[in-house]
Amino acid sequence: MAESAVSLAIEYLVPLLVQEARLLKGIHDEVASIKGELEFIRSFLNDADARAEKEDMSNVVQTWVKQLREEAYHIEDVIDEYILHFAKQTHRQRRSICFLPNVFHFTMKLKPRHVIASEIRDVNKKLKETRDKFERYGFNTIEKGRPINDVGGVSWHDPRLKSLLIEEAEVVGIESPRAKLIELLVEGPTKNMVISVVGIGGLGKTTLVKKVYDSEKVTAHFDCQAWITVTQSYKMEDLLREMIEKFYETMMECAPKEIDTMKETSLMEELKRYLREHRYIVILDDIWDTEFWGHIKCAFPDNDKGSRIVITTRSEDVAPSEKESPCYYVYKLPPLPLEKSLELFYKKVFQHEGGHCPPGFVEMSRSIVERCGGLPLAIVAIGGLLSTKEKVQSEWHKLRDSLSSEFEINSRLRSIPRILSLSYHDLPYNLKACFLYFGMFPEDYSINCARLIRLWIAEGFIKEKQGITLEEVAQDYLNKLIHRNLVQVEDVDSIGKTRTCRVHDMMREVILSKSEELSFRTVSLQNYSSFDKIARRLSIQTKVNTPLEGITSSKPRSIIMFEEDKLPKSLVTGFFVNFKLMKTMDFEGAAIDYIPREVGNLIHLRYLSLRETKVQKIPKSIGKLHNLETLDLKRSHVSKLPVEISGLRKLRYLAAYIENHEVELNIESRQAVMIPSGIGHLESLQKLFTVEALNASFIAELEKLRQLRKLEIAKLKREDGMALCTVLEKMSHLRSLDISSTSEEEILELQSMSFPPPLLQTLCLNGRLVKLPEWIPKLKNIVRMELFWSSLLDDPLKVLQDLPCLMSLQLHDGYSGEQLHFEEGGFQKLKVLELKNLGGLNSLIIDEGAMPLLEEFVIGPASQLKEVPFGIKHLKSLKSLEFYDMPREFVLSLQPPEGPEFWKVKHILSVDFWYRTQAENYEGYDIGESELFEYLRN
């Protein structure tokens, strides 16, 4: 169980032995001996994991594993403190720190060297004694055929990740319960009904109800709706506030600001007042508290309009009983029947065989599936494990035989984590660490994938591979976890990239049960009085108002703050003063407004996020953080960075902008951040945004940033455009480029670039263009393009339609002409199209055979466009069509059922009209809603 901690310690020692020989002078052989000892011990731990799959680990083994984990962390502490000591000594002698290879070039006092030499020898001695003691207890065999795995040694096919789990879990076996629940929601009595979906964890209650909630029949039937996840740690006031906001949101209204300060009773009264005139549906997902419904039910008015409340819970004791009222209905979600379970299993395991099971595996498949007891989560997890293995009978027998008899006789709630843990045990150690890191996030937390990847890198979980970046390796790790169904995809963007993910609540229980392996601690600092456990990684999720001495002694390396309440200034300072060996600090969304100068003392710090905080200034001491790789200031209040930032030579990710709340047509407005001269020294940068193009010399410095993958640059002057083109031609790794002019009228002079970055995938140009740059047709890898304020005179579609990979196109005030023509055969990969604020457009032609894959189409405002384009009927893949502020004649011509143009859009699942009210807010109507046409007539 301590394999990950020991393996990370080994990886930590390798660069020291290779690069820091002068640091380890006199103790180099001792450190090398420790590395060898740890490698031997890791084999024992690998065997311990194998045995843990089949039997409970003995107390002796648990004690041994605990000692090993602590020794591994002790090694890290000794080395880090030694480095910290010499860094401080050097800083006193020189104003600028040269990092490790040069720090120890100077003659220092010998005492610290003797101290570390002594401690290293003690560690070595203890490791040998621990191993000898363990061998005496007889646990000294290494299981044959179970080598230490490495992620790079696993054979993987390129998976289609974005919908594997979602599609399989939703489609197989839910047709009947889905139809039943929809019938209960849209039919039946006009009285309020409370429908409880009850079943054990892992049956897919939430998945089923979400499918029902999102169905066309349900969304069309109710005036307003809200999905509320309750969980065990709910706060009633927060839930009520969230519910009010979501109901207002679905009605395209702004919730009253007063609710921010309302107490529970007032919130209930406000909710009841608002819902009284609406047919509403609310989902209360994952309720654990038996008293919850009795407490909250008075907030829902029975207005005799057919409103519905849906509850999902694991316990029948939580569900309102049918005996209490005829309007209470309990639906017990059954397990998947055997035939559906086998269908799901085959679909997962035999993907490359079209979901067909080879004859030789039918009996074994049936035996394994029967043990899963109809639990979709267990079936998918085991199927995901087997899909990564060779189709060999012996491997399948081994898996089947490792399932404990407890799976058959004990309650399924206890069996599910055991089944899911099989996938965990099968992971290589570096994937184990990445998977366990999900335990740092709160229950039901939507995790930004890019953030997660950067945290993994800062933690040292990601190993370098030749020819690809750490970020790409980390993305591959995440893909593997998703493919094994240990992680669920939550949100996929318009070009198919996974943006957010999460772990199922049952999977999180598995993680928390094993979190001690990497010493994760979810900390409530409000009530604790002592802290005597090792806490290397802290997740602070509740109010912090007590001292940190207990945690400081455990020498934490990571902290993630999820507390949104205002933090005392002394506490914030304490984080930076007391946590001297910290490597990652993530304060995203925390209520802090300053960073103390002591941040400069954290020389081991690799990751610092102040995203969405109120911090306004970064102290000059930031320049001492020579190990810093990530500095995230997005949506903070920082408008200018200190000149010392140029000293952060290892910085890979620098994101900083201020978000303005003046949003038009859902367009985010950003204020760029000023970066002083010297940016060219940050040659490791891979992502840089959003920065002001101060002058030509600043742009010239960008030429040195040859590793950039993403660049967003603002306030570009016309006269500097040519210089920027020269720089961009040399950025061979660039994937994403966003350029903004000083104003909507300022011309972007970008014609002089002969050879654009060859790997460019995303391009956003904000500013006037005399004409479309001639290098645009050379963008063979472009998947997303946005043109804002371009005001092109020539139809840009003639150029753009032949881009082979383009999936998303947005023109916002990007074309001044009267006609756009989507020609036959054009835009073969396009899925999302937005044509906004095209004031001169009066003709939109769509040929048959154009945009065959288009799914989302947004038009408007377009004041001169009087009729629905005839060719919309050709867009057979279109799922969503939205119109913004279209002319009265345009909308009235569609009025169903008599409207002459209605047949053109009748085949589209969702057709919405958005228009401004007198309050300048947008309200939306579906095409079938008579209120819209009545509004327009008047």
* Amino acid letter, residue 143: E
Q: What is the pLDDT of residues 214-256, one digit of tens each?
A: 899 999 999 999 999 887 778 899 999 999 999 999 988 988 9
**413 falls in which pLDDT band (50, 70, 90)?**
very low
Question: What's the pLDDT score for residue 81?
Answer: 76
Token duo for residue 426: 């099968």
C-alpha–C-alpha distance, residues 24 and 776, integer Å: 54
Q: Please, what CATH class does the domain formed by 174-332 belong to?
A: alpha beta
Instruction: Determine whether 221 is exposed, middle or buried from the number of CB atoms within 10 Å of its CB (0-12, 13-18, 19+).
Output: middle
- Residue 846's CB is within 10 A of a number of other CB atoms, namely 22
Q: Does 226 or 546 have the greater pLDDT score?
A: 226
Q: Can you tell me which residue has the tokens 């055997």?
A: 338
434-448, 751-765, 885-899: which has the highest mean pLDDT?
751-765
For residue 852, cis peptide bond before it (omega within 30 degrees of 0) = no
- For the chain, the average pLDDT equals 80
What sign does the CA torsion over 479, 485, 490, 493 have?
A: positive
The answer on pLDDT for 12 being more than 90 is: no
Beta carbons within 8 Å of 353's beta carbon, 6+ residues apart? none
Asked if pLDDT for residue 600 goes beyond 70, the answer is yes
Structure tokens at 919: 């309050």
Structure token pair of residue 325: 């009222």
The pLDDT of residue 313: 87
Q: CA-based angle 223:229:230, to the nearest 5?
A: 120
Q: DSSP letter string over 134-193? A: HHHTT-----TT-PPP-GGGS------GGGHHHHHHHHTT-HHHHHHHHHHHHSS-SS-E
CA angle 165, 809, 469 (to 5 degrees): 60
Q: Are 174 and 331 in contact (CB under 8 A)?
A: no
- What lies within 8 Å, CB to CB, of 236 at 6+ separation is 264, 295, 296
% the chain with pLDDT above 70: 74
pLDDT at 766 > cutoff 60: yes
- The order of strands in the sheet holding 328-332 is 224-229, 280-287, 308-313, 193-198, 328-332
All structural domains of the chain with their residue ranges: 3-148, 174-332, 652-786, 791-938
Helix (H, G, I), strand (E, B) or coil at 747: strand
Closest by alpha carbon to 416, among 198, 699, 161, 203? 203
What are residue 229's DSSP bridge partners?
285
| In the predicted structure, residue 148 carries a pLDDT above the cut 70 | no
Q: What contacts 291, CB < 8 A, 6 or more positions away?
A: none
- Of 936 and 536, which is predicted with more confidence? 536
Q: What is the pLDDT of residues 860-915, one digit of tens each?
A: 898 898 888 888 889 999 999 998 888 878 877 776 655 666 667 778 888 888 87
Model pLDDT for residues 473-520, shown as the tens digit of each residue: 999 999 988 877 788 888 888 888 899 999 877 678 778 877 766 677
Which pLDDT does position 853 carry in this prediction? 95
For 786-836, how does the pLDDT look when each residue is reduced to its tens digit (9 = 90+)? 999 998 989 999 999 999 999 999 999 988 889 999 999 999 999 999 999
Answer for the pair 396, 371: CB distance below 8 angstroms, yes or no. no
Q: Supply 764's token pair.
A: 């956003």
Q: Find the angle CA(635)-CA(637)-CA(643) to the nearest 5 degrees.
A: 110
Name residue, tokens 């310690």.
9
Instruction: Report the distance separating Cα 365 and Cα 362, nearest Å.
Output: 5
Place of tokens 């394999």: 3
3-state class (DSSP) for residue 282: strand
- What pLDDT, on the 0 to 100 scale, is given for residue 52? 46
Quote the CA–CA distance of 822 and 913 in Å, as a whole number: 23
Task: Supply the pTM of this predicted model.
Answer: 0.72
Most confident of 192-201, 524-533, 669-678, 751-760: 751-760
Whole-Å CA distances, 757 to 72, 229, 725, 748, 798: 45, 44, 10, 18, 22
Q: What is the pLDDT of residues 678-687, one digit of tens each?
A: 899 999 999 9
pLDDT of residue 380: 80
Domain 652-786: homologous superfamily in CATH: Ribonuclease Inhibitor (3.80.10.10)
Predicted pLDDT of residue 493: 86
Maximum C-alpha span of the chain: 93
Question: What contacts 671, CB < 8 A, 6 or more positions away?
Answer: 639, 657, 658, 659, 660
Cis amide prior to 63 (ω within 30 degrees): no
The closest of 906, 902, 915, 911 to 876, measured between CA atoms, is 906
Helix residue ranges per DSSP H, 816-918: 888-892
- Provide mean pLDDT across the span 704-720: 94
CB atoms within 10 A of CB 207: 19
| Residues in contact with 706: Cβ distance below 8 Å, sequence separation at least 6, in sequence order | 683, 730, 731, 732, 733
Task: Give the whole-angstrom CA distance, residue 749 versus residue 739.
Answer: 11
